[in-house]
Amino acid sequence: MKELILGIESSCDDTAAAVVRAGRDVLASEVASQAAEHAVYGGVVPEIAGRSHLRAILPVIDRALGAAGTDLDDLGAIAVTTQPGLIGSLLVGLSAAKALAFTRGLPLVGVHHIEAHVYAATMEVLDTLRYPALALVVSGGHTALYRATSPVEMQLLASTLDDAAGEAFDKVAHLLGLSYPGGPSVSALATEGDPHAIAFPRYHPKDGGVGFSFSGLKTAVLYHLRGGDALAPTPPPEEIAGRADVAASFEEAVVDSLVRQTLRAADAEGLETVLVAGGVACNRRLRAEMVRRGGQRGLAVHFPSPQYCTDNAVMIAGLGWHHLTAGRVADLALDASPK
């Protein structure tokens, strides 16, 4: 069996392709970002995303193959994201993967985007990783906990009731007059503030279980900016006093909620390994606190390298290898799903 897998990722606003050997040896990783195109709107516009993927998909694949010093004849399979994501964006990547697989007679492997994010947290520690593990996936579209028993087997334990953590970062960034995407801009400003200056709320499930909610926190930030008067106008960013303290205290509330609920779930499930993945896994405060507080409980905590936290095709190709070796290949009827 040929060990090289071409991975294709187009679930949202990044067009990515990668070549990975045997699930972990990264030969090439190429990403075409659309951040500048969507920044003017303060978020991803699906129609713009889909059209941008159409322009970028083949050049990105060509660059990945060139950087890896290989071509389609050397591949063992093509792995592609099929769900979840923006349906128009997904279909661009899936159509390209199907065309290449059909014309070259290559196996086609469908990969779940969330499972791939979790796999990204394992790629650099596969030799020592112990399953089962608790996986926290935290990004602009997802905040959820899973019980992972293998790279290709996960069970949902809990998810956010409303906003994802990354979405809350984007909305608070907008309130503070910061650039999109909101996570990096809020975190950069937070380094100048006091994380304990403002006692923003943390969500606690009423039944004592595990879960997430960030809409109340987002509203608390809004009311704070309005001086406690819900009906008052929101001040323009240049008139917000203590913007850095607001950013730092908001970030602290998000991180504390994520860490607290994750550790509670690890205790409830009796798990000793924690995997943290997704775009928000780049957050320095989250990485430091999860490692510190998890370590205090004797947990092994693993994050991907920062370049593999955000959407990328390395994780698609890597997990695709495991599906391939397990015989989980698809035919050309493979379809995409937004969920």
The 8-class DSSP code of residue 220 comes to H
Is residue 335 situated within a structural domain? no
What confidence score (pLDDT) does residue 230 get? 85
pLDDT in tens, 240-270: 999 999 999 999 999 999 999 999 999 999 9
Could you tell me if 166 and 177 are in contact, meaning their C-beta atoms sit under 8 angstroms apart? no
Domain check: are 297 and 313 in the same one? no
Domain check: are 215 and 320 in the same one? no
What confidence score (pLDDT) does residue 98 get? 98
Domain check: are 210 and 105 in the same one? no
- Rounded distance between C-alpha atoms, residue 248 and residue 230, angstroms: 22
Domain check: are 207 and 299 in the same one? yes
pLDDT in tens, 106-163: 999 999 999 999 999 999 998 889 899 999 999 988 999 999 999 999 999 999 999 9
Total number of domains in the chain? 2
Domain check: are 48 and 143 in the same one? no
Is residue 125 situated within a structural domain? no
Cα dihedral 21→24→27→33 (10° resolution): 120
Which residue, among 66, 54, 49, has the nearest Cα to 6 in the 3D structure? Answer: 66
Stretch 317-328: mean pLDDT, rounded? 97
Structure tokens given for 159: 């998810």
What confidence score (pLDDT) does residue 170 get? 95
DSSP one-letter string for 170-183: HHHHHHTTPPSSHH
Domain check: are 146 and 258 in the same one? yes
Stretch 278-296: mean pLDDT, rounded? 97
What confidence score (pLDDT) does residue 127 get? 86
Is residue 32 situated within a structural domain? yes
- Rounded distance between C-alpha atoms, residue 268 and residue 123, angstroms: 26
Query: Which CATH number characterizes residue 34's domain?
Result: 3.30.420.40
Domain check: are 274 and 147 in the same one? yes
What is the span of the domain harbouring residue 295?
130-303
Is residue 339 situated within a structural domain? no
Domain check: are 16 and 163 in the same one? no
Is residue 331 situated within a structural domain? no
Domain check: are 95 and 134 in the same one? no
pLDDT in tens, 213-229: 999 999 999 999 999 98
Domain check: are 293 and 165 in the same one? yes
